[in-house]
Chain A
Amino acid sequence: MPKLTIDGREIEVAAGTTVIAAARDLGIEIPHFCWHPELSVAANCRMCLVEIEKQPKLQPSCQLPAADGMVVHTDTPRVREARRAMMEYLLLNHPVDCPICDQAGECKLQDYYQLYDLKASRLWSEEGKVRKRKRTVFGPHVVYDAERCVMCTRCVRFCAEIAKDPVLIEVHRGDHSEIAVAPGRTLDHAYSLMTAHVCPVGALTSRDFRFQCRVWFLSSTPTICPGCATGCNALLDHRRGEAFRLRPRDNPALNRGWLCDDGVLAFRLHNDHRLTTPELGRGEEARPASWDEALAEAAALLGKLPKAQRAAVLSAEHSCEENWALCVFAREALGVERFFVAGRAAGEADELLRHADKNPNRAGVRLMLGAEPEPLEKLVEEATAGSLRGVVALGAAAATTGPAAATGLLRLEALVSLAPRRGPLPEAAHVRLPCPSFAEAAGTYVNARGQPQEFPRAMPPRGEALEVPELLARLARRLDLTLPFRSTADVRAAVMPRLPQPAAGGGAP
């Protein structure tokens, strides 16, 4: 266990720890481009040079293993001069096109220039700059600008080491070196957006986020990726009720700072096809309605059927709180005994992050119900047979989307759908009641490993949408019943004891 001194403070670290990591543990930020805690060391940006006592030359701290008795200085005039010189080199051929660069505002070149350089370029003419490729499409999600690239090779190492698909390579030499896609390939693996994420500058940027919004307009709220059962920790970037992207949030025990492409783009679940006002009627007859009208209609439709012919559909897309509220409502207000579960269809999986179940909370639904819910196919069968006639359903997605399913759902005499957006279930419903998206209500997801993870609300519900507990409490009052909750906070208190204790290191803050 080597013990070293950094800027006058002592720290004992595990053998093999590099100086930059040791400094980070102390809260000392050493500037760097190429170093990334999850990637191998390249030591090619030379931004992290530090002064070590009894060593004549400055050393790259990202590569230097901490040794016993080592005395490190990270902020001496020599070090500062070295950083300034490095910045001058890095910016020598940089096009300084920050106005059209999406990275502006979260760019390491901008940050370090402000911190360590602040000098005008000494290049005598703009014409002297080496011109390289701009706006080169690397893959379905990523675009590359060679002029902005500082050749840190983080993206190359990410593809090779994390995504296990070495599709990016370095080409040419010196001033002319740049990143390229391997011949015959495109950057199309499932984690391609992470290359844009690890890029410290504006060289690799997301085609989806491109020009959508300046990053300084965005607010960030910690959330859990709603894309699959892995439950990766993420940050939701949003502005004025609209979501723009998800970014990975470091959870060493779970996603280690990564997110798959589907996860990054899962913010679309919040933006697209939203249901913002209560609606009545199917297909051609659909029309917007007031809450009073819609709740009265829902209560009337459900209330006239015998208990045995009513059922509830829980949603693996929705949080434990929302599902528990529906369970309570269905049992107490409708006397339902049959519970089904709906969700998005299964998809691709891999060993890194992606889970085949594309719903974030199937395990949570099971916990809330206290039993295994029946699959939606069974509901469709019974609806076709006519033994189930009235259903209250949460969520938009129905994994079975074939014509048979649609026919079955259409045979229902009463389908009340609580959904944040349009989808097979709400389209087949007689009454559509808008509820919040994953970003608009606080909640808890239980992932495939059984870890419960809470997340806060990022913004108020869009349009007239009501949080599910409140919505169900109002609906219950139409059925002359008072539910034991009126808000998400009430429900959370009831849900908490039903959840397993959060695993160490997991969970949202």
Chain B
Amino acid sequence: MPYVVRRPDRNLWEQSYVPETVRGLAVTLRHFFRNVLGRRDTVTLLYPEQRRPYPPRFRGVHRLTQRDDGAPRCTACMCCQTACPAECIHIVAGEYPADHPLAHVEKYPAEFWIDELRCVSCGLCVEACPCDAIRMDTGLHPRPVEARPHLMYERNLLLSISDTAGSVFTANPRKK
């Protein structure tokens, strides 16, 4: 359905363009002179030298939390794999043999791969995890690499990454 867009009402003063231009110039020049002489309002950071501290909820590289005995908390329930919209998580579930010290753990991730190249850092895997086994509180970016396979993060690497405070355990007391 066609509809009419009303032109804004403008009086002759505004229509003449010049005074409004002067007003615009006043704004830009005010900033210019304030920044050149005296106080600087610039918000730019010189990145590699100056860094803005990340907020506590920054979603960085994933880590897999450890149980107190060092085994992964992950039970390979695949909830993160299911929730992941980028399909970057691949888990192979496994069972410890009967004589293994961890035999009481019924299911564990024999393989756990995260393709950090595909990851969109949405954090849905963390939301989905019922065991607080996967977290993104590392404060890290994926390290630059020279070949794509190097950004396929593997289970033991993920287990070894700690959070910003250096802990490899869960940061969520409720899930202890």
Residue pair A211, B75 in contact (C-beta under 8 Å): no
**Total residue contacts A-B, CB cutoff 8 A:** 31
Check A100 against B75 for contact (C-beta < 8 Å): yes
A467 and B130 CA atoms in complex are apart in Å by: 45
A123 within 8 A of B: no
Residue of A nearest to B105 (CB): A100
- Bound CA span A146–B144, Å: 49
Say yes or no for B95: interface residue by CB 8 A criterion: yes
Residues in B whose Cβ lies below 8 Å from that of A97 = 106
Q: Taking A99-B131, A134-B106, A135-B106 as contacts, is the C-beta distance between A217 and B93 under 8 angstroms?
A: no
Determine if A124 is an interface residue (Cβ-Cβ < 8 Å). no
Scan A207-244; emit 1 where CB is below 8 A from any B CB, else 0: 00011101011000000000000000000000000000
Complex Cα gap A346–B95 (Å) = 35
Cβ of A98 < 8 Å from any Cβ of B? yes
Whether A99 pairs with B95 at a CB distance below 8 angstroms is no
Which DSSP category, helix, strand, loop or mixed, fits chain A's interface? loop
Please, which residues of chain A bring their CB within 8 A of the CB of B106? 97, 100, 134-135
What is the CA–CA distance of A98 and B106 in the complex, to the nearest angstrom?
Answer: 12
Question: Using a Cβ–Cβ cut-off of 8 Å, how many residues does chain B contribute to the interface with A?
Answer: 14
Among B77, B82, B94, B130, point to the contact of A217 (Cβ < 8 A).
B82
Size category of the A interface is 10 to 19
Q: CB-CB < 8 A to A214: which residues of B?
A: 77-78, 81-82
A126 to chain B, nearest CB (A): 13
Tell me the minimal C-beta distance from B89 to chain A in angstroms: 12
Q: For A98, list chain B residues within 8 Å (CB).
A: 77, 130
Interface flags, A77-116, vs B, CB<8A=1, else 0: 0000000000000000000011110001000000000000
Residues on B with beta carbons closer than 8 Å to the beta carbon of A211? 76, 93-95, 107
Q: Is B79 an interface residue (CB 8 A)?
A: yes
A255 to chain B, nearest CB (A): 31
Cα distance A135–B97 when bound, in Å?
Answer: 12
Report the bound CA distance from A429 to B77 in whole Å.
45
Binding site for B on A (CB under 8 A): 97-100, 104, 134-135, 210-212, 214, 216-217
27 intermolecular pairs with C-beta atoms under 8 Å apart: A97-B106, A98-B130, A99-B75, A99-B77, A99-B79, A99-B130, A99-B131, A100-B76, A100-B77, A100-B106, A100-B107, A104-B77, A134-B106, A135-B106, A210-B95, A211-B76, A211-B94, A211-B95, A211-B107, A212-B93, A214-B77, A214-B78, A214-B81, A214-B82, A216-B82, A217-B78, A217-B82
B positions within 8 Å CB-CB of A? 75-79, 81-82, 93-95, 106-107, 130-131
Given contacts A99-B79, A104-B77, 17 further A-B contacts (CB under 8 A): A98-B77, A99-B107, A99-B131, A100-B76, A100-B77, A100-B106, A135-B106, A210-B95, A211-B76, A211-B93, A211-B107, A212-B93, A214-B77, A214-B81, A214-B82, A217-B78, A217-B82
Give the top 5 A-B pairs by smallest Cβ distance, nearest first. Answer: A99-B77, A211-B93, A100-B107, A214-B78, A99-B75
